Amino acid sequence: MSSICLNPPAEARDTDDVRAAIVVPTYKHSGLLAEALDTALAQETDFAYAVVVVNDGCPFPETDRVCREFAAANPGRLFYLHKRNGGLSAARNSGIAFALDAFPALEAVYFLDSDNRIRPHLLQRMLDALRAGGPEVGWAYPDVDKFGFFEFCDMSGPYSPLEHLFRNVSEAGSMASRRLLDAGLRFDEAMRQGSEDWEFWLQGLERGFRGVHVPYSGFGYRRRGESMLTESERDYRPILTHIQGRHPKLFAVKAIAKAEAAVGRRYAVYLPDKGVVRCVTDPTEGGQGEDGEDLPLADFARCILRAPERPDYAGCPGHLTVMDSGLYGLLLRQRLLQGVLWTLERAAAQAMVVSGRVTLEVGETCAMEWRGTAIGLDDTQPTPLPSGGADVVALETRILLDLVRSQPTGAPELERDYIKPCVEARLDLRLCVPGPVAVARTADTALASLYEALAAQWSDKAVGGWASAQIDRYRSGVASPRDVCWQVHQLPSVLPVLPKGNGRTAALVVEPGAAEKLDLAMRLAGWLRGQGWEPHLVAMGSGTVRWSQEAADLFGSIIPFPAPLVLPERPLTRRNAYLGTPVPGLREEEDMAAGTLAAFDLVVTIQHGPAHSLMGRLRKLGVTTWAVLGAALGLAEEGRAPADVVNACAAFEHAYQTIVPLDARTFRLCQALALPLDKLRRWEGEEVGDEADWRDCPALSPPAVS
């Protein structure tokens, strides 16, 4: 139990106007506590404040003695609480509870650990920042001046909810507003290994609050070679798992996608004939394809070069693509731009640079086919930038930035990154669309010009000179989806699908070239649209995907997923068979394939064997999963018996919430292969067979989305 070592009623008249409280938990730091309390009592403010020291059951008698002596010397200003040991979080919660009860005019609580210290103007600057912020500002956080082992952690720049998901930008030396505490925020007392402050601020983020940075606040953090933080950093995975488990809504794939779009743009598309760089995230017609931000080339060059020096996470897009504005407009109008940029991002994850040739044809039926070749799989020698008339060039922005900073003069050469299997990916895109089209093959020349512009600016001391400043820049750099997606969901990236308004999105997965499956996907898309859904077509596999203008009008976007794209495909082995049925998977491409579908609310596989292996991961991420099977889709395809196709789906039955047989024969096969009856649904109007054949199969209905 907690006990107060001063008599509160006698001091009540001195606490009615206290506006801020400094809560100081202490345990085994009696030798450092006096310094922390001295700095807490030396604050220069234009408001009344109090210090609340919480002894968390420290076994050292000198800790109790120090606390009592300070309380006796500072009546009405310092209050001493003693409690049984419960950990740092429990001690802070005791201090919060006391402050809220004892100080009726309280506006904020500042947290100071007993081995740290603060400068005289910190409390004033923190509370001023909270007062100046709007109702959405829940806490104020400082830069971190570390002493002991000296370094400066620059926390400046706009607050980024996205960055806060994978990195704690608000240290313990932050101030919580009264409105934040009144919303019910308390430290998680189950966390006793560190990072409890990170979880505390994420509670505020989940309730709609934001942080505000306070420069020059004067927070001093004692950085020791061995500490609670150092120990927690050694084994961070259990801590991260606990935090993510506490906040599933914050870390959901769709929530991360929204947070990414809120703080920046993923793709920078350089349109050399326009002289601008278009920054977009979800480039669909009527969405950010129309509303994306256009930057003059000179402004974008400054944005790239300052990215490693300026803490502004997501201020610089992580992927750079160069293409002609005519090609950009064509892809946007045909609802293909999002899928093309995603394919280029996939290729850039496997290669240092991607160069593409686009063959355009005119026809009444639209078609698309990708082919890829890996260049320099075993090369260790530097490779020049692409040349030779590419229509599209793409690479990660950080690679171009590193190239400019390391080789600002002469002909630049790429050295293979150890995490990428090849130096260059050469892609060929054959595209058939209605109407005359023309594209200038100048992408590689434009990339060379962009490099020269960046190199010229970097050579200017006013720009490149920033590199000489000795600052801890761990928060700076180019934003990458991998920063968040891999840490949270073990996905290298996620397709940025942003539903319009409060709409629900569905991905219909078909094989390229399978006309009967595309026809069914169109009918299913029309049915879903009638139920308020926004359908997208994902063509996953090798070959040519064809669609009509009617299909283009039905789908929000057409996403190609050519597989394999760059690396050669490995042959199937006996291990890739379920009860004798070969079950093809995506293997090397599985992570990116899962990322392609993870942001959708509903994923429907239209008799797509390789996609079965993705459904378990997607369902764990909160995606609703359906499978459609039927003789009308070529059930005995590629020489396989009808039972084999159903059996391949049965191998992944646990991963599907609903399985839709389209005909009575398929329904009987599903029953014979022991697929659970409560998962089988008939699609009214599409099922084949007599009513008696379907008496045990309920009708399909749209899924509920949480």
Residue 701 lies in a domain: no
306-336: pLDDT as tens digits: 887 777 777 889 999 999 999 999 999 888 9
The reply to whether 646 and 536 lie within a common domain is yes
> How many angstroms separate the Cα of 270 from the Cα of each of 121, 263, 321, 343, 557?
46, 20, 6, 17, 22
- Higher-pLDDT residue of 509 and 564 is 509
Distance CA 118, CA 686 (A): 71
For residue 186, give the CATH number of its domain.
Answer: 3.90.550.10
Radius of gyration of the chain (CA): 30
Kindly report which listed range (3-7, 108-112, 549-553) carries the lowest average pLDDT score. 3-7
Cis-peptide, bond into residue 272, ω within 30° of zero: no
The reply to whether 381 and 526 lie within a common domain is no
The reply to whether 358 and 302 lie within a common domain is yes
Structure tokens at 475: 């928060």
Residue 703 lies in a domain: no
Residue 520 lies in a domain: yes
The reply to whether 510 and 482 lie within a common domain is no
pTM: 0.83
Going by C-alpha positions, the residue among 355, 452, 447, 460 that lies closest to residue 407 is: 452
For residue 632, give the CATH number of its domain.
Answer: 3.40.50
The reply to whether 559 and 593 lie within a common domain is yes
Which of the listed residues 489, 523, 538 is the one where a domain comes to its end? 489
- Contact status, residue 542 vs residue 513, Cβ threshold 8 Å: no
DSSP string, 570-583: PPP-GGGEETTEE-
Residue 498 lies in a domain: no
The reply to whether 244 and 321 lie within a common domain is no
Q: What is the mean pLDDT of the chain?
A: 85
Q: Does position 566 have pLDDT exceeding 90, yes or no?
A: no
Across residues 649-666, what is the average pLDDT?
A: 90
- Contact status, residue 538 vs residue 561, Cβ threshold 8 Å: yes
Residue 696: exposure state from Cβ atoms within 10 A (0-12, 13-18, ≥19):
exposed
49-58: pLDDT as tens digits: 999 999 999 9
Q: How sure is the predictor about 548, in pLDDT bands with cuts at 50, 70 and 90?
A: confident
Q: Does position 6 have pLDDT exceeding 80, yes or no?
A: no
The reply to whether 84 and 165 lie within a common domain is yes
Q: Which domain holds residue 567?
A: 504-694
The reply to whether 372 and 483 lie within a common domain is yes
The reply to whether 156 and 219 lie within a common domain is yes
Residue 339 lies in a domain: yes
* Residue that is written with structure tokens 């409890």 in the block: 196
The reply to whether 461 and 537 lie within a common domain is no
Residue 467's pLDDT is what?
47
Q: How sure is the predictor about 395, in pLDDT bands with cuts at 50, 70 and 90?
A: very high
> How many angstroms separate the Cα of 439 from the Cα of each of 76, 84, 325, 576?
77, 74, 9, 43
Distance CA 181, CA 179 (A): 5
Q: Does position 445 have pLDDT exceeding 50, yes or no?
A: yes
Residue 338's pLDDT is what?
93
Which of the listed residues 440, 459, 489 is the one where a domain comes to its end? 489
Which of the listed residues 224, 251, 278 is the one where a domain comes to its end? 251
Residue 446 lies in a domain: yes
- Look at the chain and report how many structural domains it folds into: 3
- Contact status, residue 628 vs residue 650, Cβ threshold 8 Å: no
Residue 286 lies in a domain: yes
The reply to whether 343 and 449 lie within a common domain is yes
Residue type, 445: T
Residue 223 lies in a domain: yes
Across residues 665-670, what is the average pLDDT?
A: 89
| Three-class DSSP category at 206 | helix
First to last CA, the chain: 41
Q: Does position 423 have pLDDT exceeding 80, yes or no?
A: yes
> How many angstroms separate the Cα of 303 from the Cα of each of 213, 316, 320, 412, 654?
21, 6, 13, 21, 47
The reply to whether 516 and 648 lie within a common domain is yes
- Higher-pLDDT residue of 488 and 319 is 319
Kindly report which listed range (142-151, 391-400, 624-633) carries the lowest average pLDDT score. 142-151
Residue 10's pLDDT is what?
42
